[in-house]
Chain A
């Protein structure tokens, strides 16, 4: 009965605060994956290989400017998925934090939404830093570039919510390595981050269109290059919103099944 008294949203806010407080102690450990790794990609591929790409002028824009928004979106995705695997799993299986939370007035929906908010927050911080670095590299060509921040947040939600659902159904942690290698890495390599998906064979291109990352990359790239037009952008964002909504429903159901029934 107590649950009914809690105003909607308040509980989720408490869960969000719980994760934030934990993060205050551990943020340094995430500095590598959130900040350094994307920079290494930018320098290694963008500057190194980019020199050769620019000789051909195939892209109509210098390669670093092409690559950077792609890596930004890919960072949003990889943070979202990283945060949704072991961290979520450990709270089911090892630390049993969720059980503790359920003994308070928190509801399943608060637990899911609060932690998803934290994941989105983490992506936002990383992407903000990355955008500043991009500006320093001279790869931001339009004021619309600030739009990549909400875009990356939506992308993170679209990737994190279904991963939450997946994690909630796992009873060992070995499937996460498989998920990383067979899903996350291929998605990052073939979603138009490093080269336009038009280069891909037709069959593979369809897979790229299905991946939320491709839609995120397209929006981010058009925003930083200043080529964004309302129609494709809204279409891409709508696609990400569908992933988020379906993911939320699935995550909520999977959490309920694991924790209550």
Chain B
């Protein structure tokens, strides 16, 4: 059903949604840029400052220096943050308060094109962030393997998955108060999705919960690539993220259609 819908998508109409966002953000570049710095600051503070106390942590049978371990996780976190803030806070504002989407759907743009357009803008933004972030990681000597270059497309996939899930989630939110839950979800994933510690550091009962989170799978991919430890499990992680994209998109398009075209 999603495939038939996707066949009818016009790139030009979805592109118009992206174009609108580009126009709006021409003036707000400071806020745009600020989204980039947060994970970088965490990397510098916790990776390098705290990392000096942590030393080396176990990874894939050996050990790695803590900043090298943390950096790819912050890359994944950045992709998540950029995607979720854009598709939850901003989309909610446009959906509920600015009534922007009512106006958009009065044009030939369909709900799925709208969702794809918003996600496309979001990916352009988070792709830019993660590209620069990866470059900084390389400059700081935190990317031991040449495979790290593939962490960029991986970060974009993570961004896509979270953008799609975020869009879907936003259609269920009722008021700004509900954003507390969004913040909790983001914060809990940020802290406990294998970002700061290897999965083995968690108690046995918590591990399956960690493995459920999309961020865990994202971190597994970026870390594997950045450290040059490739294995077949990474395909599974990627498959999980692709699944998130499909489910998120499908729910988002359906719900947006229902909310806006009664």
Residues of A at the B interface (CB closer than 8 Å) are 29, 32, 36-37, 40-41, 43-45, 48-49, 51-53, 55-56, 58-59, 63, 174, 177-178, 181-182, 185-186, 189-190, 194-195, 199-200
Contact = CB atoms under 8 A, between A and B. Distances in A.
B34 A178 contact: yes
Nearest to A58: B53
Nearest to B28: A174
Interface string B172-186: 000001001001100
Contacts of A29: 177, 180
A1 B56 CA distance: 70
Given A29-B180, A185-B41, A195-B49, A51 B201 contact: yes
A44 B55 contact: no
Most buried by A among B34, B54, B57, B191: B54
Contact of A174 (B31, B42, B52, B53): B31
A194 B46 contact: yes
B21 interface: no
5 contacts: A52-B201, A177-B34, A189-B45, A195-B52, A199-B53
Contact of B197 (A32, A37, A48): A48
A190 B45 contact: yes
Given A41-B191, A44-B196, A177-B31, A59 B41 contact: no
Nearest to B27: A174
B191 A32 contact: no
Contacts of B201: 48, 51-52
B53 A56 contact: yes
A178 to B, nearest CB: 6
Given A48-B196, A199-B52, 19 more contacts: A40-B188, A41-B191, A44-B192, A45-B196, A48-B201, A48-B202, A49-B54, A51-B197, A52-B57, A53-B50, A56-B55, A59-B53, A63-B53, A182-B34, A189-B42, A189-B45, A189-B46, A194-B49, A195-B53
Nearest to A175: B30
Contacts of A36: 184
Contacts of A200: 49
Given A29-B180, A199-B49, A52 B197 contact: yes
B50 A32 contact: no
B184 to A, nearest CB: 6
Nearest to B191: A44
A174 B188 CA distance: 27
| 9 A-B pairs with least C-beta separation | A44-B191, A189-B45, A181-B34, A48-B197, A52-B54, A195-B49, A195-B50, A32-B180, A53-B53
Given A32-B184, A43-B191, A190-B45, A52 B38 contact: no
Contacts, number: 87
Nearest to B66: A52
A79 B35 CA distance: 21
Contacts of B190: 44
Given A32-B183, A45-B191, A199-B49, A53 B28 contact: no
Nearest to B43: A189
Interface of B: 28, 30-31, 34-35, 37-38, 41-42, 44-46, 49-50, 52-55, 57, 66, 177, 180, 183-184, 187-188, 190-192, 196-197, 201-202
Contacts of B38: 181, 185
Contacts of B41: 185-186, 189
Contacts of A189: 41-42, 44-46
A53 to B, nearest CB: 5
A161 B28 CA distance: 28
Nearest to B31: A177
B55 A49 contact: no
B49 A190 contact: yes
A109 to B, nearest CB: 32
A246 B260 CA distance: 52
A38 to B, nearest CB: 11
A52 B69 CA distance: 13
A70 B187 CA distance: 19
Contacts of B197: 48-49, 51-52
A55 B55 contact: yes
A44 B35 CA distance: 22
A10 B183 CA distance: 39
Contacts of A41: 191
Contact of B46 (A45, A177, A178, A182): A45
A194 B188 CA distance: 18
Contacts of A44: 190-192, 196
Contacts of B31: 174, 177-178
A44 B210 CA distance: 13
Nearest to B180: A32
